[in-house]
Amino acid sequence: MTQKQSQKELPLDRLATMDERGHRVFLHPTDTQGKYKRRRKVFHTLLLVLFLVLPWIEINGNPAVLLDLAQRRFSIFGLAFWAHDAPMLIFVAGAIFFGVSLATAVWGRIWCGWSCPETVFVESVYRQIERWIEGNAIQRRRLDASPWNGTKLLRRGGKWLAFLAVTLVISHSFLAYFVGIDALAEMVRQNPAEHPGTFGVMAFMTATLLFFFGWFREQFCVIMCPYGRFQAVLLDEHSKLVAYDATRGEPRRGSKVAQELLQVSFEAVEFTPEVVEAVAPKLTGDCIDCGRCVTACPTGMDIRRGLQLECVNCMACVDACDEVMTNLKQPTGLIKYTSQNELQGKPVRHLRTRVVLLSLALTGVFAGLGYVMLTRPPIKATVFNAKTTPYQFVDAKAKDPVLSNQFFMMASNYTFEDGEVRIEVDNPQVEVLAQSNPMPLKAGEEKKEGIFLKFPKSTLSNGKARIKMFLLTQSDNGKWQRTLTQEVPLVGPY
């Protein structure tokens, strides 16, 4: 006996966002009420506030997040990076990669439904604006199907004007991550003609965000985003996911399968009405085929068909189904956040090889980043011998001939403050000759400068000696000061 597809079910040969001719079908998910909706609303609100205020927060005197590509400087949670710190950024990228991978292996595609900016802004901002202006899901569908008239034009125009206003706020906040708050405030006050490049970038960003958040929406998750495909290799039978309990739900009440089962049973044996009333519920599952789980889904999928690429673990279908089960005085959890093994009554192992390896990798990345940051000085300075003549006579005719050795100093400023490097030695007979001492070093600057050490021959023993060189580094604003010590060789004639 095969079950024919009912009219309530989605097509099997295409996405719910596409009709039989390949045209876009706009989704209007129905509102749900439940524990996951409440939790997601609180979490999304926190993320939205964090997104808007993060550029304004300073940690260790640096912006919490700054990705200044033009100046090639970066700040991630107060840690300052420059373009020449690219190897260190590998640790940051590794932390993001292994962190998301670990979260997926344990909690499934939780990033997509709860933390992804596409989901957060679409569900908690843009779709909320739609509800305020165009009404609930049923009213919005009717508005889509209605002909163009004054009311429809007013509502659609008002909605897109509101979208544009919100997108401008978002794009300006987004731009602050790349230029900083001070530079952004200055750009806003000035005429756009004075910085057309930045204005063009902001206009392009506004148009892009308006397109993705206002129109493209769930198609980004299903079509463009690679994470949905990538997560398939990270999930196993122990990973959490949104699942439909087919054992409890099938065959669905009111479906063709349930009716055929009842008909076969009743034809096989002569039942009394009392027996029919007692047997019928046992031949059908708890799912009443109401379709609420489908209409509540922001990507338009049917969770009853099993794990699919479109599922973003938002759990809207869980709340929708629980609401129906509660009204029917049935136990909730027909659709629930669980694992494949838990759903089948098998043991669930939270600590498994995949989770352990990803946890170790994430710990190693954080340990490496912490070590590098704790051991990295604000200014790194190194002195090394020149590869030219080992020594030169400054005054060969003096009673105690005066010599000089050439060195080079390589200095890198890893901070966002201007600083300087002063060179001193522990031997009073040795004089430091440099173009500038202290040597100024701008924020993020790398500089190589030649220096000479002048000393009398009596300083040497058998034509050589070693002295300590002190490299005093400090910022112009006095925020930090360090002393680096290095031992350098002096050479001369025997």
Q: Which of 174, 206, 233 is the last residue of a domain?
A: 233
Range of the domain at 49: 35-233
> CA 134 to CA 142: how far, in whole Å?
10
pLDDT for residue 283 is more than 70: no
> pLDDT tens across 43-53, in order?
999 999 999 88
243: in domain: no
Position 389 in a domain: yes
Tell me, yes or no, whether 120 lies in a domain. yes
Residue 219 lies in a domain: yes
More confident residue, 55 or 12: 55
Query: Is the distance from CB of 172 to CB of 205 less than 8 angstroms?
Result: no
Nearest by Cα to 67 from 53, 82, 57: 82
The confidence score (pLDDT) of residue 193 equals: 80
User: For residue 467, is it within any domain?
Assistant: yes
Global model pTM greater than 0.85 = no
Residue 268 is predicted with a pLDDT of 43
275 in a domain, yes or no?
no
Query: What digits encode the pLDDT tens for the residues 93-147?
Result: 899 999 999 999 999 989 999 999 999 999 999 999 999 999 999 999 999 999 9
Domain boundary among 233, 259, 292: 233
**Is residue 146 a part of any domain in this protein?**
yes
**Mean per-residue pLDDT for 462-491?**
86
Q: Which position has the token pair 């809207």?
A: 316
343 located within any domain: no
Q: Which of 172, 205, 233 is the last residue of a domain?
A: 233
pLDDT in tens, 167-213: 999 998 988 888 888 888 888 888 888 778 778 888 999 999 999 99
Q: Indicate the number of domains in the chain.
A: 2
Task: pLDDT band for 1, please (50, 70, 90 cuts).
Answer: very low
Q: What is the CATH number of the domain that holds 417?
A: 2.60.40.10
Using CA atoms, how far residue 41 sits from 33, 44, 262, 337, 440, in Å, is 11, 5, 43, 18, 51
Q: Would you place residue 254 in the very low, low, confident or very high pLDDT band (cuts 50, 70, 90)?
A: low
CA dist., res. 281 & res. 273, Å (int): 13
